[in-house]
Amino acid sequence: MPLVTLSEILKPANAQGYAVGSYDVFNLEMASAVIQAAEENRSPVILAYVEVFDTLFPMEAFAAALRDYAQKASVPVCIHLDHATNLAVIERALKAGFTGIMIDASDKAFEENIRITSQVVELSHALGISVEAELGHVAGNEGMYTDDSSVYTEVSQAREFMDRTGVDALAVSVGTVHGVYKSTPVLSFDRCAEIKAETDGLPLVLHGGSGLSDEDFKKIIASGINKVNIFTDLTLAAIRTLREADLTGKTPYFGLSMQVKDAIRLAAIAKMSQFGCIGMAP
């Protein structure tokens, strides 16, 4: 199946009320595990790459491998650049064949966020590539939940941001954080639903989705979320497998790698079940 853009994956999700997982992957075991999970469960899927991964697996080489996986897959696959803050990195990703770009200028003032996002939209749309942006701010990898409404996405700004930038999807801050939660998050389902209505049904994105309950996912997706970013749950599955593995040398590295891949595959399947995207691939 040919590669698809972010918009092509999110349009049916938006219309039918489910979410698609966007899985940050930094090696081929992770990528192939997620693809296998998607194919086994007939789910569309997004493979995401973060700039920091460049130090482990250079973007251009990894993108070539991901594109090959995607083109041979039997389900729709989008190759997405996650949390990009640097225009030079975005230009590299576009040349490398990514089919989705996330520009994250959420730490900037509203007008500066609009200016930067608009520039990326113009550059990407000229090549037929979809763009995700972030409004409000999802806290970083410290995993510390804080009920600080000052970082939440302002409903009153969402429509203006969409109209002035032309983004294809919007990541919103409604109470999640990146990383492992150290206290129970309180999601603002009403705020999410209000943003959805204010933006006339624009696909919304949830970052910091690892560790949420089934009920939380069900309610936040019903409130308008169509894409959920997942990274921590995959890495925790891998680490747990290695901790439980035979590290005496009796199991070869290849065998350990296969065990890790299978653990990641199962973790991805669990997320697909939560998101309601199983069986949604054409």
Residue 250's pLDDT is what?
87
Residue 143's pLDDT is what?
36
Contacts for 12 with CB less than 8 Å, ≥ 6 apart:
44, 280
Residue located via tokens 């995700």: 132
Catalytic residue among 24, 54, 82, 147: 82
Residue 139's pLDDT is what?
56
How far is 34 from 73, CA to CA, in rounded Å? Answer: 11
Residue 180's pLDDT is what?
47
How far is 70 from 5, CA to CA, in rounded Å? Answer: 12
Give per-residue burial for 160-170: e unless 16+ CB within 10 Å, then b. Answer: ebbeebebbbb
- Burial category of 49 from C-beta neighbours within 10 Å (exposed 0-12, middle 13-18, buried 19 and up): buried
68 carries an active-site annotation? no
Show the low-confidence residues of the chain (pLDDT under 70). Answer: 138-150, 177-185
How far is 1 from 17, CA to CA, in rounded Å? Answer: 23
Q: Where are the beta strands (DSSP E) in 42-153?
A: 45-50, 77-84, 100-103, 130-135
Q: Which domains does the chain have, with CATH numbers?
A: 6-275 (3.20.20.70)
122 in Cβ contact with 150 (< 8 Å): no
How far is 102 from 84, CA to CA, in rounded Å? Answer: 6
Q: Per the structure block, which two tokens stand in for 61? A: 């080489």
Residue 150's pLDDT is what?
55
How far is 160 from 199, CA to CA, in rounded Å? Answer: 9
Q: Provide the residue count of the chain.
A: 282
How far is 273 from 43, CA to CA, in rounded Å? Answer: 10
